[in-house]
Amino acid sequence: MDRVPVLKIGDILLVSIQIDLQDQSVLALQEDLAERIVSTGARGVIIDITAVEIVDSFIGRMFATIASMSRLLDAETVVVGMRPAVAITLVELGLSLGGVRTALDLEKGLALLNADGVSQTARALRDIR
Amino acid sequence: MTQPGSAGQTRIAQLLTEHRDDVLGRWVAAVAGTVRGRITERELRHESEELYGLLVRQAADGPAGTAADELRSMLADLSRSRARQGFTPSETAVSVFALKQALFSLLEEKADVDADAKTYREFVLFSSVLDDLGLHTFETFAAAREQVIADQAESLLELSTPVVKLWDGIVAVPLIGTLDSARTQVVMESLLQTLVDTGSRYAVIDITGVAAVDTEVAQHLLKTVVAARLMGAECVISGIRPQIAHTIVTLGIEFADIVTKATLADALAHVLRQSGVQIISGGQA
Q: Which of A32, A34, A17 is nearest to A71 (CA)?
A: A34
Where along chain A do its domains lie? 6-128
pLDDT classification of B237: cutoffs 50, 70, 90: very high
Contact A110, A45 (CB under 8 A): no
Q: What is the DSSP letter of B2?
A: P
CB contact A97 to B (< 8 Å): yes
Q: Is there a domain that residue B3 lies in?
A: no
Starting at the edge strand found earlier in the chain, the sheet holding B164-167 runs: B164-167, B170-177, B202-210, B234-238, B259-260
B146 and B63 housed in the same domain: yes
- How far apart are alpha carbons B228 and B195 in whole angstroms? 8
Query: Is B215 inside a domain boundary?
Result: yes
Q: Given pLDDT bands bounded at 50, 70 and 90, which one contains residue B8?
A: low
Query: Is B246 found in the same domain as B141?
Result: no
A5 vs A28: CA distance, rounded Å: 11
> First vs last Cα of chain B: how many Å apart?
107
CB spacing of A108 vs B192 below 8 angstroms: no
Instruction: Tally the domains of chain B.
Output: 2
A110 touches chain B (CB under 8 A): no
Backbone angles phi, psi at B62, to 5 degrees: 90, 170
Instruction: Label residue B3 by pLDDT band (50, 70, 90).
Output: very low
Stated length of chain A: 129
Asked whether residue B174 falls in the same domain as residue B258, the answer is: yes
Residue B153, pLDDT score: 81
> Which residues does chain B have within 8 Å of residue A89's beta carbon, measured at their own beta carbons?
none
**Do B139 and B195 share a domain, yes or no?**
no
- CA–CA distance, B269 with B263 (Å, rounded to integer): 10
Are B268 and B166 in contact by the 8 Å Cβ rule? The answer is yes
Angle at A53 between CA A52 and CA A58, to 5 degrees: 75
- Please answer yes or no on whether A91 and B192 come within 8 Å at the CB atom: no
- Write the single-letter amino acid at B200: S
- The pLDDT score that the predictor gives to residue A55 is 84
Are residues B148 and B26 part of one domain? yes
Interval B13-72: pLDDT, tens: 777 788 888 888 888 888 877 776 677 778 888 888 888 888 888 777 766 677 778 888
Helix (H) or strand (E) holding A9: strand A6-9
B173-201: average pLDDT: 85
Taking the C-alpha atoms of residue A4 and residue B252, their distance in angstroms, rounded to an integer, is: 45
Q: Contact A108/B201, CB-based, under 8 Å?
A: yes
Task: Out of B189, B223, B226, name the one closest to residue A84 (CB).
Answer: B189
Question: How far apart are the C-alpha atoms of B225 and B233, rounded to whole Å?
Answer: 9
Residue B12 to residue B119: CA distance in whole angstroms: 7
Give A25-82 pLDDT, tens digit per residue: 888 888 999 999 999 988 899 999 998 888 888 888 888 888 888 888 888 899 999 9
Name the minimum distance, in Å, from the CA of B191 to any CA of chain A.
9
Pair (B138, B20) in one structural domain: yes
Asked if B71 and B98 sit in the same domain, the reply is yes
The ipTM value here is 0.75
Least confident span in A69-73, B1-5, B107-111, B173-177: B1-5
Neighbours of B270 (CB within 10 A): 18
Q: What is the CATH number of domain A6-128?
A: 3.30.750.24
pLDDT at B149: 87
The answer to whether residue B60 neighbours chain A at the CB level (below 8 Å) is no
* H helix runs in B115-251, sequence order: 117-159, 181-198, 215-230, 242-251
B122 shares a domain with B216:
no
Q: In whole angstroms, give the CA distance from residue A35 to residue A29.
A: 10
Task: Among B135, B154, B173, identify where a domain stops.
Answer: B154
% of chain B beyond a pLDDT of 70: 91
Distance (Å, whole) CA A54 – CA A19: 11
| B126/B105 Cα distance (integer angstroms) | 15
Give the residue among B118, B112, B269, B160 at the shortest CA–CA distance from B278. B269
**DSSP structural state of residue A20:** P
User: Residues B245-265: what's their mean pLDDT?
Assistant: 87
Neighbours of B89 (CB within 10 A): 19
Instruction: Decide: helix, strand or coil at residue A58.
Output: helix
Half-sphere exposure for B232 (CA within 13 Å, toward CB): 30
Query: What is the overall mean pLDDT for chain A?
Result: 85
Query: Quick check: is B206 in a domain?
Result: yes
Q: Taking residues B258-272, what's their average pLDDT?
A: 91
* Contact check, Cβ <8 Å, A87/B227: yes
Report the alpha-carbon angle B254-A97-A123, nearest 5: 115
